[in-house]
């Protein structure tokens, strides 16, 4: 078989690696799944690609767990790398779980209530252990009116703002806070996303502030973190995945693990709730993806209903195509390269207010203004300057490339 061109992957090799990756994410573990893992592992011809896919989708912990249950033909180098990365990620998950408890306590001390979005509680709920879910950061949701107080609390706890950068001027901060849902802070290895909205677009889905409905999830012997009600939490997770086009299987694995705990009737209840709160297509897409990629049990009547919905089917097919096409490459999330996922998001709901807000978010993009370090006095004019700035950047890139070739 001829070798692939640079930057490309042989389709048979990619298909085998991707199939094994998906079956490694089936949860909970079972003898049947072990048999599928063993069979598919025997078909993998490019273990370096499998390793790259595992890292790209941030599922080293689940993959290590699945492969540890069966003898498999992976080279010792690949097995060692997966085990090494899983150990590192497990330690980081535990570190972030402890930091989550610390932050919740610090905020409560100031009278600020918060709930966790994803993070350590999701690991405990979905996989039975904080150490089984790979964590990159801590997502905390507060009320918008508590934002400034929460930021002060983070600063007092040693955190510094990283997104937008600490040097951002008042015009950029005003634009950012009006259009974005969060700010990011870092202290050493601990990254915190402080949310005042659950979704970037408030016309898609948001979490009502209802402490009476929250659940308390034990994280350790002396700590429990608050999370939203079961149906709200599930809808949020599906919205989170859908707005990014489900470009990481990690997020789908979370949903699949939660689905495995549901009955047919309770899955119908999850979809019905989502449909009544603007998240119907996102949840429908997640159900179809979980069924096709993770083998999740979904009632036949729901599969028929969702398959007949052209918008849900289009979203699902788009995500499947992108997941396979991207392979081990990271998907561009900024600039004009993000146009595809942005257009796909328009299908998540029929609401024209949502669609108009998406256009506003795309045109008046504060993240791009921050990335190019636009002077603060020019930030109000950024929507008009965006295309000329992009054209100038392209001209400079072409000029630099021509100079290098000469």
Sign of the alpha-carbon dihedral angle for 315, 318, 323, 329: negative
In 277-350, which ranges are continuous DSSP H helix? 280-294, 300-307, 310-326, 339-345
Q: Mean pLDDT lowest for which of 183-197, 200-214, 380-394? A: 380-394
Mean pLDDT over the full length of the chain: 89
| pLDDT of 9 over the 50 cut | no
User: Which two tokens mark 184?
Assistant: 């990011």
The partner residues of 186 in beta bridges, in order of sequence, read 160, 191
Q: Which residue has the higher pLDDT, 325 or 233?
A: 233
How much of the chain is in helix, strand and coil states, percent to nearest 5? 65, 10, 30
Q: What is the pLDDT of residue 4?
A: 39
pLDDT of residue 345: 84
d(CA 94, CA 336): 37
Q: What DSSP designation does 332 have?
A: P
Predicted pLDDT at 166: 79
Q: How confident is the model at residue 336 (pLDDT cuts 50, 70, 90)?
A: very low
Is the pLDDT at 320 greater than 80? The verdict is yes
Kind and range of the H or E run holding 141: strand 138-141
Q: Please report, for residues 151, 168, 175, 180, 368, the alpha-carbon distance to residue 377 in angstroms, rounded to integers and kept in the order given.
A: 24, 11, 12, 20, 15
The rounded distance, in Å, linking the Cα atoms of 115 and 205 is 16
Instruction: Please determine, for residue 329, whether its predicted confidence score (pLDDT) is greater than 60.
Output: yes
Structure-block tokens of residue 42: 């025997």
What does the block give as tokens for 354? 């949502």
Q: Is the pLDDT of residue 5 over 60?
A: no
Confidence of residue 71 (pLDDT cuts 50, 70, 90): confident
The gap from C-alpha 137 to its chain's centroid, in whole angstroms, comes to 11
C-alpha distances in angstroms, 128 versus 87, 100, 101, 201? 18, 18, 18, 32
Reading the block at residue 315, the tokens are 């979203």
Q: Is the pLDDT of residue 63 over 70?
A: yes
DSSP state of 138: E
Q: What is the mean pLDDT of residues 156-180?
A: 91
Per-position DSSP letters for 370-381, written without gaps between them: HHTT--GGGGGG
Beta strand pairing status for 138-141 and 160-163? unpaired
User: What SS3 state is found at 116?
Assistant: strand
Would you say residue 230 has pLDDT above 70? yes
User: Whose CA is closest to 66, among 105, 46, 39, 45?
Assistant: 39
Averaged pLDDT for residues 131-150? 96
Longest alpha-carbon distance in the chain: 68
pLDDT above 70 as % of the chain: 93
For 42-68, what is the mean pLDDT? Answer: 95
Lowest mean pLDDT among 15-24, 89-98, 354-363: 354-363
Predicted pLDDT of residue 10:
56
Q: How long a stretch of residues is the chain?
A: 406
Whose tokens are 């009476």? That residue is: 212
Give the pLDDT confidence score for residue 309 in this predicted structure: 95
Reply yes or no on whether the pLDDT at 7 is more than 60: no
Residue 390 has pLDDT above 90, yes or no: no
Name the E strands within 152-241.
160-163, 182-187, 190-195, 215-220, 223-227
> What confidence score (pLDDT) does residue 405 get?
63
Report helix, strand or coil for 21. helix
């Amino acid at each position: 078989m001829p070798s692939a061109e640079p930057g490309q992957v042989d389709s048979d090799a990619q298909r085998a690696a991707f199939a094994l990756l998906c079956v490694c994410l089936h949860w909970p573990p079972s003898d049947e799944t072990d048999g599928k893992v063993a069979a598919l592992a025997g078909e993998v011809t490019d273990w370096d690609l499998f390793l790259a896919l595992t890292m790209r989708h941030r599922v080293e912990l689940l993959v290590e767990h699945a492969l540890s249950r069966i003898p498999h033909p992976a080279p010792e180098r690949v097995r060692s790398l997966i085990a090494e990365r899983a150990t590192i990620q497990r330690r980081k998950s535990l570190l972030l779980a402890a930091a989550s408890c610390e932050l919740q306590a610090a905020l409560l001390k100031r009278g600020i209530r918060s709930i966790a979005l994803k993070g350590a509680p999701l690991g405990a709920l979905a996989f039975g252990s904080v150490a089984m879910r790979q964590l990159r950061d801590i997502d905390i949701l507060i009320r918008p009116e508590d934002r400034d107080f929460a930021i002060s609390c983070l600063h007092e706890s040693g955190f510094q703002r990283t997104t937008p950068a600490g040097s951002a001027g008042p015009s950029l901060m005003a634009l950012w806070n009006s259009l974005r849902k969060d700010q990011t802070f870092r202290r050493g290895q601990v990254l915190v996303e402080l949310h005042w909205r659950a979704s970037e677009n408030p016309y898609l889905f948001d979490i009502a502030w209802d402490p009476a409905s929250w659940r308390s999830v034990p994280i350790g012997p002396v700590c429990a973190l608050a999370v939203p009600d079961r149906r709200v939490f599930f809808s949020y997770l599906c919205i989170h995945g859908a707005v990014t086009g489900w470009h990481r299987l990690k997020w789908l694995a979370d949903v699949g693990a939660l689905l495995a705990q549901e009955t047919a009737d309770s899955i119908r209840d999850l979809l019905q709730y989502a449909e009544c709160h603007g998240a119907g297509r996102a949840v429908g897409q997640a159900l179809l993806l979980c069924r096709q990629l993770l083998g999740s049990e979904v009632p036949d009547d729901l599969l028929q209903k969702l398959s007949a919905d052209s918008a849900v089917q289009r979203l699902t097919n788009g995500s499947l195509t992108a997941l396979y096409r991207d392979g081990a490459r990271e998907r561009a999330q900024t600039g004009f390269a993000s146009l595809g996922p942005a257009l796909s998001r328009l299908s998540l709901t029929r609401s024209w207010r949502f669609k108009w807000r998406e256009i506003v978010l795309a045109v008046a993009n504060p993240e791009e203004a921050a990335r190019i370090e636009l002077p603060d006095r020019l930030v109000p004019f950024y929507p008009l300057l965006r295309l000329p700035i992009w054209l100038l950047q392209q001209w400079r890139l072409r000029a630099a490339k021509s100079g290098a070739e000469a």
